[in-house]
Structure formats: C-alpha cells, structure tokens
Amino acid sequence: MELNRYFDHTLLKPDATSEQIKKLCAEARKYEFASVCVNPDFIELAKQELAGSIVNVCTVIGFPLGAMTSASKAFEAKDAIARGADEVDMVLNVSKAKEHDYQAVEEDIRAVKQACGKTLLKVILETCLLTKEEIVECCKAAERAGADYVKTSTGFSKGGATPEDVALMRQTVGDRLGVKASGGVHNLAEAQAMIDAGCSRIGASASVVVMEEAAAK
C-alpha cells in the first residue's frame, strides 16, 4: 500500500472551524489520503469538499469517552451515515472493558455495527486505559460483534498509539480485521514504526508533515 493511503487525515478539535475543515479536505484531496476524519457536524461540508475525489469521509461516534448508551451510539451512527459518512469510528464502553464485562462490550459494538450495515466500522479501544489482557479481549469482542477494524486511541486521553499495542492488536485479529493506529504519530519514523507493527490505517493530524518528510527523502 502507498504511504498516503494509510492516512485518515484528522481534525477533531472542539474549536475546529469550517475553514479548517476545508483546508483539511484540500490537503486530503491533494495527497489522496484514505479519508478525512471529522466530527459529525462537519460530515456534509467534508462530503461537499471531497466530491469527485477518492477520499472517504470518516466520523466519530460516542466520542471521546464511549460512555453513552448503545442506543444513542446507534442513532448517532445512523444519522452520520444518512448525512454521508463513509466510515465510522466508535468508542467502545471503556468502563465495561475495565469491569471485564466483555459481553456488554460486544453488545455495544454490535448495536453500532447493525446501525452501520455495510458501512466500515472501526472500534476505538482507548488502549492507554487498558491492560494487555483487556486489549486482547476487546479486540476479540469487536471481531465477534462484526467490526471491520480495531483502533488504538481517541487522541483525547492520557496516551496514544504505541507500536507494542498495535502489534498485540494485529496478533489478536490476524488478517481478519484492520488495525488503526491513532494518536501520537507526528513524523515519518513514528508512522513507519506503526506500519512495521502491523497497522493498516493511521489516524493523524500530521499526515501532511509525514508525506512531506517522505518526499524529501
């Protein structure tokens, strides 16, 4: 896979403006990134800005805490898809994961997957809050629930992706699911480390920096 196609070019800051989203989309169009990842309120703008390109529009659900009800997440996902989202990144119920109630974790994910239908679903684990065993069990729950990807992080907690966690997730899901590394990828070396560890997608706001660094080499 070409380096550019690994990237979900991301802007999820609460104070993001329409002009910043337009810039994000212009950059994604230029580099032909896999997607832009934006908050749900910007789906229609991103879809408009990316019309005619190969770049998908990705949005986040239950973000950033994952602590809302499954019904509210499912509604949010349906609404996002109706407004043009091509991919959905949901935050699982971290509290249930910490309580080792993996059936509840699975049911939460399944409710969103049913709402998504054929739309790509990535499940954010928030790995910085989980033990290695919990990461493994959440990956298994996501797979049982029909998710398409597991993802490390929101970028809004105390830590982001690490190569070690990406490798553990890849080892757990094999080639059956995608693995997205998100949070903490600032340069080419860090991106390459995630790819070497087994990720198939990278969520980053520094996507352009990485591409410019790669071009300079």
Active-site option among 47, 113, 122, 180: 180
Is 89 among the catalytic positions? yes
Phi-psi region of 171 (alpha: psi -120 to 50; beta: other; left: phi over 0): alpha
Q: Which of 145, 72, 65, 70 is nearest to 102 (CA)?
A: 145
Active-site option among 73, 78, 151, 165: 151
Measured from the Cβ of residue 108, the count of other Cβ atoms closer than 10 Å reads 27
- 159 phi, psi to nearest 5 deg: -165, 165
Active-site option among 89, 108, 148, 165: 89
SS (H, E, C) 160-210: CCCHHHHHHHHHHHCCCCEEEEECCCCCHHHHHHHHHHCCCEEEECCHHHH
What is the amino acid identity at position 212?
E
Q: Is 88 helix (H, G, I), strand (E, B) or coil?
A: strand
Please list, residue by residue across 160-180, b when 16 or more beta carbons sit within 10 angstroms of its beta carbon and e when fewer do: bbbbebbbbbbebbeeebbbb
Q: Which two tokens stand for residue 157?
A: 């907690």
Residues serving a catalytic function are: 89, 151, 180
